[in-house]
Amino acid sequence: MFEYRQVLARMRQGDSDRDIAGAHLMGRGKLKTVRQVALAHGWLDPGRPLPDDAELAGIFGRDPKVPRSRISTLEPFRDLVRGWFDADVQGTTIHNALKRNHGYAGSYSAVRRMLLNLKAERGVRATTILEFAPADVVQVDFGAGPALTHESGIPLKTWIFVMTLAWSRHQYAEIVLDQTVETWLACHRRAFEWLGGCPGRVIIDNAKCAITKACMYSPEVQRSYASLAEGYGFRIDACPPHDPQKKGIVESGVKYVKKSFVPLREFRDLTDANRQLRDWVMQQAGTREHGTTREQPLARFAVEKPLLTTLPDVPPVLAVWSEVKVHTDGHVVYKKVLYSVPFTLVGKDLWLKATDTVVQLFHRHQLVATHPRLRKPGDRQTVRDHQPPEAQAWLEHDPQWCMARAKEIGPACHAVILALFNDKVLVNLRGAQGIVRMREKYGDARLDAACERALAFASPKYRTVKTILDKGLDSQPAPASVQTPTPADTYANGGRFGRDLHSILLH
């Protein structure tokens, strides 16, 4: 509109269209149109004021985003394209779908122009600059880190943990190998120790290591992170889902680390990379003039640090909470390691609390098991008292136990148990356990006598001893090894073991 007003001013001064066009204000064809409109509205009369910009725009103005008279070949599909655009479908995908399913023969450029028009119709979302008081807020985020090489030659993927104070812009950064809950908690502790205090609020994204359920109004915090916040005394402020601008300070901080620190550097290992990163934060990042505050972050941090909350004398225990299920073998699995719980909890859901040294398991807020923390995948920590009674008996009554109890019962019983364990084919542990348990029913004297009789008949087996006791044959004297019994002795009791082997062969 400024150009139109200049043209009208020169026309009032009597300049011709040739002179005005020579000044490169407007082409002669367009000047002709402007002069005709000016004459019709009386704008060339020096006694009248020039029209204002709104009046000029109403006659000469045109929205550059509104197409001219040309109609797009996509106009019949506008509603369809609008729906895909609102669903964030890519332009190339829209173009291919139109050709494949709707017989569209136009170019991708038409699709791109329509998407630009739809974007213009949507408008630009206005934002607000947030102001933070000193020591009030830190923002935390992860970013992709440099590639490191393991000593075996295998490349390692890394991430950069960044915590930035919202007021001073001073930051803590650390390169880590994962984004697990343990790493998340440990990085917070080291960051607070680095800063020398704790802020009142921590603004985070909706990472799984911190938020179990993202929601704009009521997000659910990971239990482990909630315990850490309670221990240090800060509040967790989770951003709304898909809205990283709410923590734009640390987003910029992560980009700054990735673009300024990572390129053109070599790292021997993780320790060397973090040493270089700490030096860079203190010597370069902390002493630069920040683009927003126009001050050095370390200079502002000198003002902010005394206002941070003092760290507790005893740091909170870093504990990871997980929900686990008890398997039929009476164990739960955590980090590929098995830990036992009382067998009565098979099939139940428990809470597992893991620290660096201890694993604890809770059922309905009651502590039911405590184990030392194991690290090697496949290891198992089993408490014998957690096993069912029959399993405990099997584990406790080993061969040494059976031999010791057999000695207490008598020499014959000891000989039978020894013969069972000397079997070259069968493992007779259950049979030995069964023989020893008979003392509870029959007593040591009868059991030892039955074992003596079983030995006399060269049958040191559980079934032999049990049959002798059931039929009361243990009260009879054991036959001599080569004695020939009389017929009356042979069939006196009619039992299986009433005769010796010699008499059986003779008859």
pLDDT digits (tens, 9 = 90+) for 158-172: 999 999 999 999 999
Asked whether residue 245 falls in the same domain as residue 386, the answer is no
Asked if pLDDT for residue 343 goes beyond 80, the answer is yes
Residues 189 and 315 sit within 8 Å (Cβ to Cβ): yes
Asked if pLDDT for residue 153 goes beyond 70, the answer is yes
Helix intervals (H) in 42-170: 53-60, 78-86, 91-102, 108-122
Asked if pLDDT for residue 130 goes beyond 90, the answer is no
pLDDT, position 290:
93
Query: Quick one: tokens of 501?
Result: 């082997």
pLDDT, position 72:
84
Asked whether residue 286 falls in the same domain as residue 152, the answer is yes
Return mean pLDDT, the chain: 87
Asked if pLDDT for residue 101 goes beyond 70, the answer is yes
Report the run of H or E that residue 267 belongs to, with start and end.
none
Asked whether residue 178 falls in the same domain as residue 267, the answer is yes
The set of residues, in sequence order, having a beta carbon less than 8 Å from that of 289 and lying 6+ positions away, is: 295, 296
pLDDT, position 283:
94
Asked whether residue 290 falls in the same domain as residue 427, the answer is no
pLDDT, position 460:
92
Confidence category of residue 484, pLDDT binned at 50, 70, 90: very low
* Backbone angle region of 324, left / alpha / beta, with phi > 0 → left and psi within -120 to 50 → alpha: beta
DSSP state at residue 132: -
Query: Quick one: tokens of 105?
Result: 């023969």
Asked whether residue 107 falls in the same domain as residue 35, the answer is no
- Residue where a domain stops, chosen among 281, 307, 333: 307
pLDDT, position 9:
86
Asked whether residue 292 falls in the same domain as residue 195, the answer is yes
pLDDT, position 64:
47
> What average pLDDT does the segment 107-117 reach?
91
- What are the backbone angles phi and psi of residue 88, rounded to the nearest 5°? 65, 35
| Rounded-to-10 torsion of CA 342, 346, 348, 352 | 50
Per the structure, the count of domains in the chain is 5
Residues 303 and 134 sit within 8 Å (Cβ to Cβ): yes
Is residue 132 a part of any domain in this protein? no
pLDDT, position 313:
92
Give me the percent of the chain exceeding a pLDDT of 90: 57
The set of residues, in sequence order, having a beta carbon less than 8 Å from that of 131 and lying 6+ positions away, is: none
Residue written as token pair 């479908």: 89
Report which of residues 491 and 222 the model is more confident about.
222
Is residue 97 a part of any domain in this protein? yes
Give me the percent of the chain exceeding a pLDDT of 70: 91
Is residue 130 a part of any domain in this protein? no
CATH code at 300?
3.30.420.10
> What average pLDDT does the segment 483-500 reach?
42
Which residues make beta-bridge pairs with 320? 354
Report how far residue 318's alpha carbon sits from residue 69's, in angstroms, rounded to the nearest whole number. 67
Q: Report CA-CA distances (Å) from 250 to 228, 233, 262, 320, 389.
A: 21, 21, 17, 25, 57
Asked if pLDDT for residue 495 goes beyond 50, the answer is no
Is residue 67 a part of any domain in this protein? no
Domain boundaries, position 349? 320-390
Asked if pLDDT for residue 95 goes beyond 80, the answer is yes
Report how far residue 499's alpha carbon sits from residue 507's, in angstroms, rounded to the nearest whole number. 11
Asked if pLDDT for residue 151 goes beyond 90, the answer is no
Give the model confidence (pLDDT) of 198-253 as tens digits.
999 999 988 889 998 888 888 899 999 999 999 999 999 998 887 777 788 999 99
Report how far residue 465's alpha carbon sits from residue 448's, in angstroms, rounded to the nearest whole number. 9
pLDDT, position 493:
43
Confidence category of residue 398, pLDDT binned at 50, 70, 90: confident
Confidence category of residue 486, pLDDT binned at 50, 70, 90: very low
Asked if pLDDT for residue 347 goes beyond 90, the answer is yes
Q: Which of 40-49, 125-134, 223-232, 382-391 has maximum average pLDDT?
A: 223-232
Asked whether residue 484 falls in the same domain as residue 345, the answer is no
Report how far residue 273's alpha carbon sits from residue 189's, in angstroms, rounded to the nearest whole number. 19
Asked whether residue 245 falls in the same domain as residue 266, the answer is yes
pLDDT, position 480:
60
E runs forming strands in 328-414: 331-334, 337-340, 349-354, 358-363, 366-372, 380-381
Report how far residue 297's alpha carbon sits from residue 288's, in angstroms, rounded to the nearest whole number. 7
The set of residues, in sequence order, having a beta carbon less than 8 Å from that of 221 and lying 6+ positions away, is: 210, 211, 212, 229, 236, 238
Is residue 461 a part of any domain in this protein? yes
Confidence category of residue 487, pLDDT binned at 50, 70, 90: very low
Which residues make beta-bridge pairs with 220? 213
Report how far residue 187's alpha carbon sits from residue 202's, in angstroms, rounded to the nearest whole number. 13
Confidence category of residue 394, pLDDT binned at 50, 70, 90: low
Asked whether residue 176 falls in the same domain as residue 297, the answer is yes
- Residue where a domain stops, chosen among 390, 418, 438: 390
pLDDT, position 288:
94
Is residue 315 a part of any domain in this protein? no
Asked whether residue 444 falls in the same domain as residue 478, the answer is yes
Identify the weakest region by mean pLDDT among 71-80, 203-212, 295-304, 498-507: 498-507
Which residues make beta-bridge pairs with 332? 339
Query: Quick one: tokens of 428?
Result: 């007779």
Strand duo 337-340 + 331-334: pairing: antiparallel
Confidence category of residue 62, pLDDT binned at 50, 70, 90: low
Asked if pLDDT for residue 320 goes beyond 90, the answer is yes
Is residue 313 a part of any domain in this protein? no
Helix then strand then coil, in percent of the chain rounded to 5, is 45, 15, 40
Report how far residue 376's alpha carbon sits from residue 69's, in angstroms, rounded to the nearest whole number. 73
Asked if pLDDT for residue 312 goes beyond 90, the answer is yes
Asked whether residue 108 falls in the same domain as residue 178, the answer is no
Nearest to 145 by CA among 273, 275, 278: 273
Residues 149 and 272 sit within 8 Å (Cβ to Cβ): no
Is residue 434 a part of any domain in this protein? yes
- Residue where a domain stops, chosen among 276, 307, 338: 307
Give residue 121's identity as a one-letter amino acid code.
E
Query: Quick one: tokens of 10?
Result: 């020169």
Confidence category of residue 494, pLDDT binned at 50, 70, 90: very low
Report which of residues 117 and 489 the model is more confident about.
117
The set of residues, in sequence order, having a beta carbon less than 8 Å from that of 152 and lying 6+ positions away, is: none
Asked whether residue 232 falls in the same domain as residue 291, the answer is yes
